Amino acid sequence: MAKATTQYRPKLYARRASLAAVSAAALVSSLVLSCQTAQAAPPAPPDAATARTYLAEIKESPEGSLDGYSREKFPHWSDQGDGCNTREVVLKRDGTDVQQDNRCAAVSGTWVSAYDGATWTQASDLDIDHVVPLAEAWRSGAAQWTTERRKELANDLKHSQLIAVTDNVNQEKGDKDPAKWLPPSESYHCEYARMWVWVKHEYGLTADPGETAALKKILSGC
């Protein structure tokens, strides 16, 4: 009997090891799948009533000068961990079934641009828009900030400052405020105004009279 026990023991250990390996592989597979499918939601702006209150608290002031402005003074697309920069994080967040390579670059997925309703399957067709443009922020008070504060605005994932949209639409927007430009999709105007007001209020930025009037008009109809 002792001899038989000695013969079976290696097989028993081998079977246990095999089962453990299968379980570990299943766990890893499950974790990878979870990482691939998990999608964070964009931060939701305040409702219209709150946005109207915030707008009333934003200081109205003529727009400042662009003297001294450059995008380099707003360090953007900073590292967000795991080798991913801010742009890639937003692409992952705002898309559906987004797959990334080992450098965190989006290699496939589907994106619907809220500004114009267009659907894209190539990340290269999208820009990450700063809802409050960096040049607009500069003219509205950011010229007096530290570089670190400007970096915070340029990479803000906590508020509605960053969104993946059709590149051509973003380029048409440029650095215009809502008095001069609104998304082509009229159904998105209320959301856009709420986003804009939230960011300006959060960062203590000013608004010029035309901008304030345009935002009041939009929010009154929300």
Does residue 9 carry a pLDDT above 80?
A: no
Q: What is the pLDDT of residue 26?
A: 38
Q: What's the pLDDT score for residue 41? A: 74
In this prediction, residue 42 carries a pLDDT of: 81
What whole-number distance in Å separates Cα of residue 92 and Cα of residue 110?
A: 10
Mean pLDDT of 37-45: 71
3-state secondary structure the chain: CHHHHHHHHHHHHHHHHHHHHHHHHHHHHHHHHHHHHCCCCCCCCCCHHHHHHHHHHCCECCCCCCCCCCHHHCCCCCECCCCCEHHHHHHHHHCEEEEECCCCCEEEEEEECCCCCCEECCHHHEEEEECCCHHHHHHCCHHHCCHHHHHHHHCCCCCCCEEEEEHHHHHHHCCCCCCCCCCCCHHHHHHHHHHHHHHHHHHCCCECHHHHHHHHHHHHCC
- The pLDDT score that the predictor gives to residue 40 is 66
**The pair of three-digit structure tokens given for residue 26, joined into one six-digit string:** 């299943």
Report pTM: 0.82
* Percentage, residues of the chain above pLDDT 70: 82
- Residue closest to 130 by CA, chosen among 92, 64, 177: 177
Q: List the Cα angle 7/8/10 in 5-degree steps.
A: 85
Per residue in 18-34, pLDDT tens? 434 433 333 333 333 33
Mean of the per-residue pLDDT values of the chain: 86
Does residue 215 register a pLDDT over 80? yes
Q: 155-209, pLDDT tens digit by residue?
A: 999 999 999 999 999 999 999 999 999 999 999 999 999 999 999 999 999 999 9
